[in-house]
Amino acid sequence: MPELEHLPADAPIDAIMAVLDRDGALILDDVISAAEADAFREELRPYVEATQPGQDSFTGRRTTRTGALVARSKAARAAVLDTRIRAICDKVLLPNCERYQLHLTQLIRIMPGEPAQAIHRDRWAWGRYLKGIEPQLNTIWALTDFTEANGATQVIPGSIDWPDTRAAESAEIGRAVMRRGSVLIYTGTVFHGGGANVSDQDRWGLNITYALGWLRQEENQYLSCPPEIARALDPELQALIGYAMGSYALGYFTPPLPAGEGPEIVPPEFALGRVDGAPSMGSEELLRAVTAEKPGV
């Protein structure tokens, strides 16, 4: 069984990227303390315990998936904005977009008796159309210890170069065994899947994923965290969940008001009261970014 490489939480970004480029996955140890992980779990417990299990083998009939965590959890907001994770996002995603975005937040609880999930690539959320580009960067924060018995994530290191049709053999599948407070980092291209829980304890993993800003989000953040909630968030977090232009002319809207009672083209920040109603399809900087190599546009 291959082992995932573990690095300390304060590892230099170059060291992290060397492993990620090679394996497609790694573990950062002790990103938060065990006590912080426990407090995180208790904050989310009411929502998790009220969540119904999945209704098919992929989502897991003994697995619950609780979302809308930006709206519900202060600890989740801090995790989304973690500077160490964002530095990795910058390296993985910014070469292919002007701004990346939060793709999903989900507390995945694998309960005893859940079999192993089918091995897959997360990028298949967009089908198999994107070629030669990495569309996302994923994290799973261990809020309980991850063990082979309780469902530690299955990961196939080095599978980023595999064709979509390649099936993993058991000897190629590693397990993301880690202490609570540690974080599994993996790309959308690496093959992986939830592990079987043959223990008598739940496994709690916080899945926070980021994606290129010009792709549709898996979790619709505008519905999970609507303007009346998003208004109170840190502006950086507002932008990350989608209340900002993804590029020039990408993400504006028209408030559906009676004729003459509102603007026609405004950026998403208008819904949060952060900008006035001046018509805008994006900043001059964003315009330059999309026209720089297109003289005469």
Q: In the predicted model, what is the mean pLDDT of residues 106-121?
A: 98
Alpha carbons 126 and 134: distance in angstroms, whole number = 12
Q: Which residue has the tokens 């989304």?
A: 80
* Residue 296: predicted pLDDT: 42
Q: Name the pairing type of β-strands 63-66 and 203-212.
A: unpaired
User: Helix 13-23 vs helix 83-93: angle between axes, to the nearest 10 degrees?
Assistant: 50
* Residue 293: predicted pLDDT: 56
Interval 279-290: pLDDT, tens: 888 888 888 888
Q: In the predicted model, what is the mean pLDDT of residues 100-125?
A: 98
Q: In the predicted model, what is the mean pLDDT of residues 149-159?
A: 98
DSSP 245-279: -SBTTBS-B----STTSS-SSB-GGGGGTSS-S--
Q: Are 60 and 109 in contact (CB under 8 A)?
A: no
Indicate left, alpha or beta for 282 from its phi (over 0: left) and psi (-120 to 50: alpha).
Answer: left
Alpha carbons 177 and 154: distance in angstroms, whole number = 9
Q: Predicted confidence band at 277 (pLDDT cuts at 50, 70, 90)?
A: confident
Q: Are 153 and 140 in contact (CB under 8 A)?
A: yes
Interval 156-210: pLDDT, tens: 999 999 999 999 999 999 999 999 999 999 999 999 999 999 999 999 999 999 9
Interval 16-47: pLDDT, tens: 999 999 999 999 999 999 999 999 999 999 99
Alpha carbons 253 and 32: distance in angstroms, whole number = 38
Best CA proximity match to 107, nearest among 152, 64, 46: 64
Best CA proximity match to 107, nearest among 184, 208, 241: 208
The pLDDT > 70 percentage for the chain reads 98
Alpha carbons 81 and 18: distance in angstroms, whole number = 23
Report the helix count and the strand count for the chain, using DSSP H and E.
Answer: 9, 10
User: pTM, whole model, 2 decimals?
Assistant: 0.95
Alpha carbons 66 and 88: distance in angstroms, whole number = 25
| Domains detected in the chain | 6-221 (2.60.120.620), 245-297 (no CATH)
Alpha carbons 277 and 271: distance in angstroms, whole number = 10
Interval 199-247: pLDDT, tens: 999 999 999 999 999 999 999 999 999 999 999 999 999 999 999 999 9
